[in-house]
């Protein structure tokens, strides 16, 4: 213990001696001349998010709020998913009938490894890079939940989508303790720079973008993939 303590002190002493002469800029002097605010309206943001997700080979559909349970059910049945995991906080109406739901309380790894997929909500979306952010709250579940199952259906509300990365950080003056940013399914290019989808993480990412703001204006009807005017 004394050795460890003395290393701590000697490292800090060396650092303090090295930096005593100054030379580091103060935090207030940092130049942040880069683009922080996006310029797209909501439709354009959704369109960009969709385009970027599809570039990553993710499947994207749109939904209104009212028909969201039906959209989720359609996605699950289209994928032939019968045994699915879900976090405890997932809204009950999202849990489609006819599916064997494994609600995560304390599912062990073997059980999670055995399910056909998982459905979670999201904390934010970043359109420019097609990124989905999970803060692992009750609706998103603990980290392992969206990691072991091979198929991930993620529900992202349109109002959660920002255009730029700095806009995401502006939303969280109180940083989350946990965050996972997903930009497409697991991938590698380690062999001859050939991009291969699906190494260890989920190989299939499906995203439902919920038009939660547009819903009141358009009366809750929307169709998959169709961009809505104004």
Partner 1 sequence: MSHAVLDPRVAPEFPKAALPVLRDTQLRKNVAHATDVIQAKRAKLVAEKKDWQELRTAAAAIRDNVLGNLGDYLEQFEERCTAAGGQVHWASDAAEARRIILDILREEQAREVIKIKTMTSAEIDLNPALKSAGVHAIETDLAELILQLGKEEPSHIVVPALHVNRSQVREIFSKSMHLEGLSDEPQALTAAARSYLRNKFLTIPTAISGANYLVAETGSVVIVESEGNGRMCLTLPRTLITLAGIEKIIPRFEDLEVMLQILARSATGERMNPYNSLWTGVTEGDGPQRFHVVLLDNGRSEILARKTERQTLRCIRCGACQNTCPVYRQTGGHAYGSVYGGPIGAILTPQLMHMEHAQSLPYASSLCGACYEVCPVKINIPEVLIELRAQVVDQDRHKTSRLFDPMYMGMRMANSVFASAGRFRAAQRLGRTALKPFTGKDGWIRSLPGLGAKWTITRDLRGLPEQSFREWWEKQGRKMP
CA distance 123 to 97: 25
The two structure tokens encoding residue 146? 């969206």
State which of positions 51-90 bind partner 1 (CB under 8 A).
52, 56
Distances (CA, A) of 90 to 95, 104, 119: 8, 10, 8
- 192 scored as a contact of partner 1 (CB under 8 A): yes
139 binds partner 1 (CB under 8 A): no
Give yes or no for a contact between 175 and 122, defined as CB atoms under 8 angstroms apart.
no
Query: Shortest CA distance to 202 belongs to which of 113, 142, 128, 130?
Result: 113
Task: Return d(Cα 45, Cα 25) in angstroms, integer.
Answer: 36
Q: Six-digit token pair at 96?
A: 């489609």
Q: Are 60 and 207 in contact (CB under 8 A)?
A: yes
By CB under 8 A, the residues from 22 to 41 that bind partner 1 are 22-27, 29-36
Residue 71: which H helix or E strand, with range?
A: helix 68-78
Provide the 3-class DSSP secondary structure of residue 129: helix
Q: Please identify, among the stretches 9-17, 43-51, 75-83, 153-161, the one whose residues bind partner 1 according to the rule CB under 8 A.
A: 9-17
Among 136, 152, 157, 206, binds partner 1 (CB under 8 A): 136
User: Binding residues for partner 1, how many (CB under 8 A)?
Assistant: 73
Site stretch for partner 1 (CB under 8 A), options 62-70, 78-86, 116-124, 160-168: 160-168
Among 54, 73, 142, 212, binds partner 1 (CB under 8 A): 142
Should residue 172 be labelled a site residue for partner 1 when binding is judged by CB under 8 A?
Answer: yes
- Of 43-51, 76-84, 116-124, 128-136, the segment contacting partner 1 by CB under 8 A is 128-136
Contact status: 110 vs partner 1 (CB under 8 A): yes
Of residues 118, 124, 162, 182, which one binds partner 1 by CB under 8 A? 182
Would you say 32 or 98 has its CB closer to partner 1?
32
Instruction: Select from 41-49, 77-85, 179-187, 211-219 the region that touches partner 1 (CB under 8 A).
Output: 179-187
16 binds partner 1 (CB under 8 A): yes
| SS3 assignment, position 38 | coil
């Amino acid at each position: 213990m004394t050795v460890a303590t003395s290393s701590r002190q000697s490292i800090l002493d060396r650092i303090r001696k090295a930096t005593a002469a100054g030379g580091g800029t103060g935090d207030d002097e940092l130049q942040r001349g880069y683009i922080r605010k996006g310029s797209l309206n909501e439709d354009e943001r959704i369109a960009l998010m969709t385009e970027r997700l599809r570039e990553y080979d993710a499947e994207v559909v749109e939904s209104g709020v009212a028909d969201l349970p039906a959209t989720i059910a359609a996605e699950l049945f289209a994928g032939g998913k019968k045994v699915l995991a879900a976090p405890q906080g997932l809204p009950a109406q999202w849990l489609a009938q006819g599916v064997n739901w494994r609600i995560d309380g304390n599912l062990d790894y073997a059980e999670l490894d055995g399910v056909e997929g998982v459905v979670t909500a999201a904390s934010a979306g970043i359109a420019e890079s097609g990124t989905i952010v999970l803060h692992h709250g009750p609706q998103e579940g603990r980290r392992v939940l969206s990691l072991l199952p091979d198929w991930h259906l993620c529900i992202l509300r349109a109002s959660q989508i920002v255009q730029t990365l700095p806009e995401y950080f502006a939303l969280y003056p109180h940083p989350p303790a946990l965050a996972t940013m997903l930009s497409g399914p697991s991938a590698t290019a380690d062999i001859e720079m050939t991009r291969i989808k699906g190494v260890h993480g989920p190989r299939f990412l499906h995203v439902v973008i919920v038009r939660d703001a547009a819903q009141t204006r358009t009366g809750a009807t929307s169709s998959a993939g169709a961009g809505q005017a104004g």
